[in-house]
A = this chain, B = another copy of it.
Amino acid sequence: MTDKTHVAFLGPVASYSHQATRLAFPDEAVNELIPVKTIREVFDTVQAGTTEYGVVPFENSTHGPVSMTLDALADRQDDLPDIVVCGEVYLGVHHYLLGFGHLGNVKRAFSHPQAFGQTTKWFKRHLPGVETVEVSSTSRAAEMASEDKTGESAAVAGLMAGERYGLEVLGSKIEDREDNTTRFFVIRRKGDDGEGQERKKGDGGEGGPKGKNLVSFSVGSHDEPGALADVLGCFKQRGLNLTSINSVPGLREGMRPFEYLFFVEFEGKEDEEGVSGVLGDLREKTRGWRYLGGWEKGRR
């Protein structure tokens, strides 16, 4: 390892995650970007302190939340206790069909399930009935397509991956919606300054005034009607604006079927009274909660 700042991302090189990571950490002189194999590995690497930062896809505007990232943030086995979100990056995502020769020869397409989910209309129109094979990343898909020189295999991936593996463009900007955007989170280890589980007042470095905040909590939704509305009401009473809600099955020990873990994003106010206050409220109204970090709003 060098003495640069190390940033793990979902590889391989040339993936969309790589592009997002370059946006968040543009200076090659001081940052070393390290591809790893899975989203979970990005989290593990940061938790272990092997890299200072990690970049993970959180949600796509067409396909919705990225379940592997939500699962890691849920931390059901309590083995990612120090992970906090400290930034966000928006990346416009354009997909290309990449291969050799021409479209009429393509018999199978490789890609990540998210990318197939964002290009269903194009496939229905241009390649109905083609075999679609789900692989771990769009970049890996490009690599696999490049290994079949017959022109029968293609990949849905970004231009950067196509260039890397010497593929031709068989279809350009094939995403269902041209405003297709993926939002990434920058994660890091909770500092030694006590920030994280208990957010300190005025801790501007971790989101600060007008920043976004992310908190997770569990309430029994089906079995305890009203519990969820009660919790969400806390944010309103403290003058905090909810900007996003996501959920995954709780599945932690002691949780029952259909008990969900919620991820709530909210915007803080000028001062941090509201944020500290709502974290206190959550202690009373939920079965468990965790402050997952604060950051400055990203540009879209």
Chain A positions near chain B (C-beta within 8 angstroms): 59-64, 67, 134, 176-177, 179-181, 183, 221-222, 225-226, 228-230, 232-233, 235-236, 241-249, 251, 256-258, 260, 266-267, 300
A267 near B225 (CB under 8 angstroms)?
yes
- Give Cα A177–Cα B266 distance, bound, in whole angstroms: 33
User: Residues of B contacting A246 with CB < 8 Å?
Assistant: 247
- B236/A221 in contact, CB under 8 A: no
A59 touches B245 (CB 8 A): no
- In the complex, the answer to whether A177 meets B233 with C-beta atoms within 8 Å is no
Complex-state Cα separation, A242 to B225, whole angstroms = 6
Known: A221-B244, A222-B244, A245-B247. 11 other contacts (CB 8 A): A59-B258, A61-B249, A61-B257, A177-B257, A180-B257, A183-B258, A221-B245, A222-B243, A225-B242, A225-B267, A226-B241
For A233, give the chain B residue with the smallest CB separation: B236
Whole-angstrom distance between the alpha carbons of A179 and B183 in the complex? 34
Chain B nearest CB from A248 CB (Å) reads: 6
Min CB–CB distance A106 → chain B (angstroms): 20
Q: Can you name the residue of chain B whose Cβ is closest to the Cβ of A220? A: B243
- A61 and B258 contact, Cβ closer than 8 Å, known pairs A177-B251, A221-B244, A243-B222: yes
* Overall SS of chain A's interface: mixed
User: CA separation between A222 and B232, bound complex, in Å?
Assistant: 16
In the complex, which of the residues B177, B243, B260 contacts A221, with contact meaning CB atoms closer than 8 Å?
B243
Which of chain B's residues have a CB closer than 8 A to the CB of A177?
251, 257
List 27 contacting pairs A-B, 8 Å CB cutoff, sorted by A: A59-B258, A61-B249, A61-B257, A61-B258, A62-B251, A64-B247, A64-B248, A64-B249, A176-B251, A177-B251, A177-B257, A179-B257, A181-B258, A221-B243, A225-B241, A225-B242, A225-B267, A226-B236, A226-B241, A226-B242, A228-B242, A228-B243, A229-B232, A229-B233, A230-B236, A245-B245, A245-B247
With both beta carbons as reference points, the residue of chain B lying nearest to A179 in the complex is identified as: B257
Q: Which residue of B lies closest to A176 (CB)?
A: B251
A220 to chain B, nearest CB (A): 10
Complex interface: chain B residues within 8 A of A230 (CB): 236
B residues in contact with A232, CB < 8 Å: 229, 232
Residues in B with CB closer than 8 Å to A248 are 64
Contacts of A62 in B (CB 8 A): 249, 251
Task: Please give me the residue from chain B that is nearest to A180 by CB atom.
Answer: B257
Distance between Cα atoms of A230 and B8 in the complex (Å): 38
Give chain B residues whose Cβ lies under 8 Å from the Cβ of A260: 244
